[in-house]
Amino acid sequence: MRRRYITIKDIAKALDISVATVSRALRDAYDVNPHTRQRVLDMATELNYKPNFNATGLVKRSTHNIGVLLPAITNYYFSTVITGIQQVANENGFNLILYLTNDSEETEIRIVEELSLSSLDGLLACVSAHENNYAHFSQIIDDGLPVVFFDRVAAHIDASKVMQDDYNGAFMAVEHLIHSGYRKIAHITGPKELSLTQNRLNGYIHALEKHGMRYDPDMVVHSGFSQADGVGDIEILFSSIGSEPDAIFAVNDRKGIGAILALKQRNILVGPQVGVIGFTNDPICEIVSPTLSTVAEPAYQVGREGCSLLLKHIAKANFAARSVTLSAELIARQSTQRS
């Protein structure tokens, strides 16, 4: 049998005072005699009292829960972001409720539509990949739930957003390849619809143009975000006759790793023959051989920033939505060394 937990009524009865006084003693210290307050506090620890969040949530119209919705957690970037979110949430007495979409649009829509708004104070969301309708998000925002997007953001929705500097990160990556002496630079990337993809693609294009190199659409391959997708993209680039690239800019490290593996498979020397650079700075970059050059994303910081932004929205209903872009940093390793 599930046990009945200790309530403030029990404390009140034990001390022969009213529940109102107990409630105040436990929170305010206002309108309550220090001596009484101390007796309540002592009794509370003696009885091992724990507040009932359902009850407080009901009357205060706020649980201390924030939701985190994202495609998956089994990769470095997302799990690090969550760690950052968790930190800030924890510091402020908030709990994290985790929702995983497996990168499925249906699952995402189902989760968002079934969301019990009243059991959440706010939501942090990273949209699933294959998406260009955001009606389900608009709905819950209209219903009054504060939402902050991160990484993969919903472009046309008026809500706060936190991302890394995808454009400049991509720009730096490509410029680094050019400075290293590579001349035919391909880009293997994610789904077209995502703003993240578009921003990195733009950085790629503009870096080429700045250095007087022609942008060739055939040198850009769109697919998913996985290592296997990286392998597949290389197959596509290197099986078409003639125009093989001498460098690969991958939209993330997992695809970069896939590219390295696929190139090694083809007996191509990564670095001297074909350069590869990724994006994220997954620890795996230092383990793969050759080590993978990359653009470091401030994943932990994205999490912290996103969460504290959300908390501001929760605290002040009319807090104006803002977009935060955190800067990225180039890290050169062996995979972009020609000699």
Partner DNA sequence: ACAACTTCCGTTAACGTTCTCGCTACTTTT
Partner DNA sequence: AAAAGTAGCGAGAACGTTAACGGAAGTTGT
Give the residues lining the site for DNA (CB under 7 A). Answer: 4-5, 7-9, 16-21, 23, 26-27, 31-37, 49, 51-52, 54-56, 58-61, 118
Q: How far apart are CA 231 and CA 228, in angstroms?
A: 5
From the list DNA, a copy of itself, none, which binds 183 (C-beta under 5 to 8 Å, kind-based)? none
Do residues 141 and 115 make contact, with C-beta atoms less than 8 angstroms apart?
no
Partner touching 202 among DNA, a copy of itself, none, CB below 5 to 8 Å by kind: none
What's the closest the beta carbon of residue 266 comes to a copy of itself, in angstroms? Answer: 16
Reported residue count of the chain is: 339
Residue owning tokens 């924890």: 90
Residue 37 corresponds to which amino acid?
A: R
Q: CA 271: distance to chain centroid?
A: 31
**Can you say whether the dihedral through the CA atoms of 10, 16, 18, 21 is positive or negative?**
negative
**Binding mask of the shown chain, residues 242 to 281, with x at each position contacting a copy of itself by CB under 8 A:** ---------------x---x--------------------
Q: Which of DNA, a copy of itself, none binds 143 (CB below 5-8 Å, type-dependent)?
A: a copy of itself
Give whichever of 23 and 334 is closer to DNA, judged by the CB atom: 23
Residue type at position 240? S
Alpha helices (runs of H) in the chain, residue ranges in sequence order: 8-15, 19-26, 34-47, 53-60, 76-91, 105-114, 135-142, 166-179, 195-210, 227-239, 253-265, 299-315
Q: How far is it, in rounded angstroms, from Cα 15 to Cα 226?
A: 62
Binding partner of 267, given DNA, a copy of itself, none, CB within 5-8 angstroms per partner class: none
Q: What is the largest CA-CA distance in the chain?
A: 89
DSSP 3-state of 310? helix
Pairing verdict, β 294-296 and 329-331: antiparallel
From the list 31, 35, 48, 212, which residue makes contact with a copy of itself (rule: CB under 8 A)? 48
Among 31, 74, 156, 214, binds a copy of itself (CB under 8 A): 74
Asked if residue 2 binds a copy of itself (CB under 8 A), the reply is: yes
Which of 33, 90, 132, 327 is close enough to bind a copy of itself by CB under 8 A?
A: 90
Rounded Cα distance between 175 and 207, Å, is: 6
Residues in binding contact with a copy of itself, number by CB under 8 A:
51
Q: Which is nearer to a copy of itself, 51 or 337 (CB)?
A: 51
Which of residues 143 and 209 has its CB atom nearest to a copy of itself in the complex? 143
Is 234 in a helix, a strand, or coil?
helix
Is 317 a binding residue for a copy of itself by CB under 8 A? The answer is: yes
The contact set with a copy of itself (CB under 8 A) reads 1-3, 5, 48, 50-55, 57-58, 61-63, 65, 72-76, 79-80, 82-83, 86, 90, 95-98, 100, 115-119, 139, 143-144, 227, 257, 261, 283-284, 287-289, 317-318
